[in-house]
Chains A and B, each alone.
Chain A
Amino acid sequence: MTGTTTKIELPGAAVEVVRKGAGPQLFVLHGGGGPVAAMPFADKLAENFEVIAPVHPGFAGSAIPDHFDNLQDLVYLYLDLMDALELEDAVMMGFSMGGWTAVELAVMSTARISKLILVDAVGVKVGGREDRDIADVFATPPDELARMMWHDPAKAPNPANMTDAQLEIVQSNRVALGLYTWEPYMHNPKLPHRLHRIDVPTLLLWGESDGLVTPDYGRAYCAMIPGAEIIVIPEAGHAPQAEQPGAFVEHVVSFAI
């Protein structure tokens, strides 16, 4: 299913937003791998929702605004975006780094959202200072990273099948991910003290084989959010929406509708 793509001009930056389907608003924030709205699971969700998926500046070949330094810049941009989109009772769903972004938005205000879904999300530190809660994706050999992130590493995107232009986008996505998550790495130390402000039903979906942020991390994260529940999806890694799209969509639909 092809959606529509519009460029929304906001103070300080423009954001590309993909829309597809009709129904309740599903505001989708992608992770460090890049946009997800073209994936099969998104098409399935578009049968039940109006999927509204911005592309974070820096991803998919877009520019990083000069004044951007870290995730907070994205969060404030998206506060503006949510106003511009006139979101109302939207379900906000974030993957990995997009999950962290969603949480940052939710602790500021849940006025425009009715429910929150976090998929293999990062954003908090659950262990001690010497615990590597979140794998260091920037210091991990590529093959090891694939084994960490995928239940079936054979399903990982294969650079050998990519064009030069696609490979370049993979690299610029990495730069954007680095900008948003470098230090403190993939988390905001203040977030645990703010999670009590989330007053909408929250579901965490987690790939059972995720080695980047494990289901135990997900459970600890879940315990910090009032009333949140977690569902662990078997035979899936860091991207259950890609490895188990059927089960994934089922969980989203039954929680959100």
Chain B
Amino acid sequence: MKAWFFTEDAYPQLPDQDTYRSIRVNLPSKHYDPEIGADNYHQFLDMWLMAEELGLEIMLNEHHQTATCVVPSVPIIAGILARETKTARILILGNPLSNLPRPTRTAEEMAMIDVISRGRLECGFVRGVPYESAPANVLPYRGTERMWEAHDLIIKAWTSHDGPFNFEGRWFHARQVNVWPRPYQQPHPPIWVTIGSAGTARPVAEHEYVGAVFLAGYPGIRAIFDGYRDRYLARHGNEAPLDRLAYCALIYVADDEAEAKAGGERLLWYMTSNKVPVEYSNPPGYHAPAVAAKIAQGGIGGAGLPLRPTLDNQMARGNVFCGTPDQVFEQIKAFYEYSGGFGNLLIMGQAGHLTFAQTRRSMTLFSTEVYPRLKELTASYNGDAMKATRAALPHRDAVDLGTFGLEFAR
């Protein structure tokens, strides 16, 4: 198991939620104090450096026009960490290719980070969440096709070393592509793509890229991972290795249960803060019409309803692992076995008002007491044994799903 420390670099110093309609897209930047913002950036950079010291890998992402993640350009943070860190892998998950205007720019930025870090970049490509359609001014319809076309151009840009080539696709045109620098890793950095359904998992499996699942929990994980594994087996003739799959959850580890709950509640800000009305969560063509209709009715997430995920239901769902080291290990192990296994754990280890000290304590306990056991777990992975274990675990869909996670259910 490889564990990756992740924080969204939020700006939680906000007025009361009742005073604004949305935390994303239209929240005025008068609520952002650059003095506080500077402190935040440095604190988050310190957290990633701490993660490296603790033996964890690093995960970064980007979002736009939102206080939930004040990294509108992930290459900037990655560039700093490429210089400041020495050993950790740096995962960007990811570059929102559907919403970025020029894939060749992304190819250049990622190649730079790979070279500066001497080959420590893991490069993720994502479609982007629905709320980013407005900031990018990009129609979400056919966003997945658009993402894969950008991907094709980037891969070719990274792997062509004999002068310019021509690319005139449906969405992206570049007639003299000749990217400098070329990537440090050959032929290019490892690729990750977020997946949210068996359908979106298939092309990722075909490419043998890492498929990363965010917060699908018990109700969703099997269908997604199975979609990946089935396609991988069909295409490549062997079972997908564990390291091809990743799962992202909120994780808080503490010395005792009461402290763990308190930390978990703080971490839950990531979900409770996500107040987004329907006009931003349901842009045309992001969701399939049947799903879009449910969102428009307010029946499911993102419809401007108060989001009330509780720690208990999110733990039951498998979106939050929280407790003492023993408890957290057992929770992750249970989910791991239920899912059929995965080799990458993406840890949202900090959110909202969780302090540096609290985060450090949690990640220290994780790295010293949980991580070694997770490594043993994956080291002893046996495909047949896993199938038997999993078969003995009945499908869990009768948990309170809350209203969160729909934006990842694609």
A179 CB contact (under 8 Å) in B25, B141, B279: B141
Identify the closest chain B residue to A145 (Cβ): B279
A171 CB contact (under 8 Å) in B26, B137, B289: B289
A156-180 at interface with B (beta carbon < 8 Å):
159, 164, 167-172, 174-175, 177-179
A72 at the interface (CB under 8 A from B): no
B285 & A168 in contact (Cβ 8 Å cutoff): no
Q: Which residues of B contact A154 (CB under 8 A)?
A: none
Name the residue in B139, B284, B304 with the highest tally of chain A Cβ atoms < 10 Å from its Cβ. B284
Stretch at the interface among A43-51, A73-81, A134-142: A134-142
A138 CB contact (under 8 Å) in B21, B284, B293: B284
A175 & B296 in contact (Cβ 8 Å cutoff): no
The complex places the Cα of A172 from the Cα of B291 at a distance, in Å, of 11
A130 at the interface (CB under 8 A from B): no
B82 at the interface (CB under 8 A from A): no
Q: Which residues of A contact B296 (CB under 8 A)?
A: 142, 159, 167, 170-171
Q: A178-B285, A182-B139 are in contact. Are A139 and B293 (CB under 8 A)?
A: no
A183 at the interface (CB under 8 A from B): yes
Q: Which residues of B contact A168 (CB under 8 A)?
A: 289-290, 292-293
B297 at the interface (CB under 8 A from A): yes
The complex places the Cα of A183 from the Cα of B141 at a distance, in Å, of 13
B287-314 at interface with A (beta carbon < 8 Å):
289-290, 292-293, 296-297, 304
The complex places the Cα of A174 from the Cα of B292 at a distance, in Å, of 10
Q: Which residues of A contact B283 (CB under 8 A)?
A: 138, 178
A175 CB contact (under 8 Å) in B134, B141, B278, B279: B141
Q: Which residues of A contact B280 (CB under 8 A)?
A: 139
The complex places the Cα of A34 from the Cα of B283 at a distance, in Å, of 18
Interface class of chain A by DSSP: helix
The complex places the Cα of A183 from the Cα of B137 at a distance, in Å, of 8
Q: Which residues of A contact B279 (CB under 8 A)?
A: 138-142
Chain A nearest CB: distance from B134 CB in Å?
6
Q: Which residues of B contact A183 (CB under 8 A)?
A: 137, 139
Q: Which residues of A contact B343 (CB under 8 A)?
A: none
Identify the closest chain A residue to B140 (Cβ): A178
Interface class of chain B by DSSP: loop
B75 at the interface (CB under 8 A from A): no
B341 at the interface (CB under 8 A from A): no
B289 & A139 in contact (Cβ 8 Å cutoff): no
B211 at the interface (CB under 8 A from A): no
B277 at the interface (CB under 8 A from A): yes
B373-408 at interface with A (beta carbon < 8 Å):
none
The complex places the Cα of A111 from the Cα of B342 at a distance, in Å, of 65
B293 & A167 in contact (Cβ 8 Å cutoff): yes
A170 & B284 in contact (Cβ 8 Å cutoff): no
A167 & B141 in contact (Cβ 8 Å cutoff): no
Interface string of A196-210 (1 = CB under 8 A from B): 000000000000000
Q: Which residues of B contact A69 (CB under 8 A)?
A: 170
A179 & B290 in contact (Cβ 8 Å cutoff): no
A179 & B293 in contact (Cβ 8 Å cutoff): no
Q: Which residues of A contact B21 (CB under 8 A)?
A: 141
Q: Which residues of B contact A175 (CB under 8 A)?
A: 141, 284-285, 289
The complex places the Cα of A177 from the Cα of B284 at a distance, in Å, of 8
Q: Which residues of A contact B289 (CB under 8 A)?
A: 168-169, 171-172, 175
Name the residue in B21, B289, B292 with the highest tally of chain A Cβ atoms < 10 Å from its Cβ. B289
Chain A nearest CB: distance from B79 CB in Å?
30
A139 CB contact (under 8 Å) in B134, B292, B304: B134
The complex places the Cα of A140 from the Cα of B26 at a distance, in Å, of 11
Interface string of B300-339 (1 = CB under 8 A from A): 0000100000000000000000000000000000000000
Interface string of B158-177 (1 = CB under 8 A from A): 00000000000010000000
Q: Which residues of A contact B285 (CB under 8 A)?
A: 175, 178-179
Q: A178-B139, A179-B141, A183-B139 are in contact. Are A167 and B297 (CB under 8 A)?
A: yes
B292 & A171 in contact (Cβ 8 Å cutoff): yes
Q: Which residues of B contact A178 (CB under 8 A)?
A: 139, 141, 283-285
Interface string of A99-134 (1 = CB under 8 A from B): 000000000000000000000000000000000000
The complex places the Cα of A116 from the Cα of B170 at a distance, in Å, of 34
Chain A positions near chain B (C-beta within 8 angstroms)? 69, 138-142, 159, 164, 167-172, 174-175, 177-179, 182-183
15 CB < 8 A contacts A-B: A138-B283, A141-B279, A141-B304, A142-B279, A142-B296, A159-B296, A168-B290, A174-B284, A174-B292, A175-B141, A178-B139, A178-B283, A178-B285, A179-B139, A179-B141
Closest 7 CB pairs of A and B: A178-B284, A167-B293, A171-B292, A182-B139, A171-B289, A172-B289, A175-B285
Q: A138-B279, A171-B284 are in contact. List 19 more A-B contacts (CB 8 A).
A: A69-B170, A138-B134, A138-B284, A139-B279, A139-B280, A141-B277, A141-B278, A159-B296, A164-B293, A167-B297, A170-B293, A174-B292, A177-B284, A178-B284, A179-B139, A179-B285, A182-B139, A183-B137, A183-B139
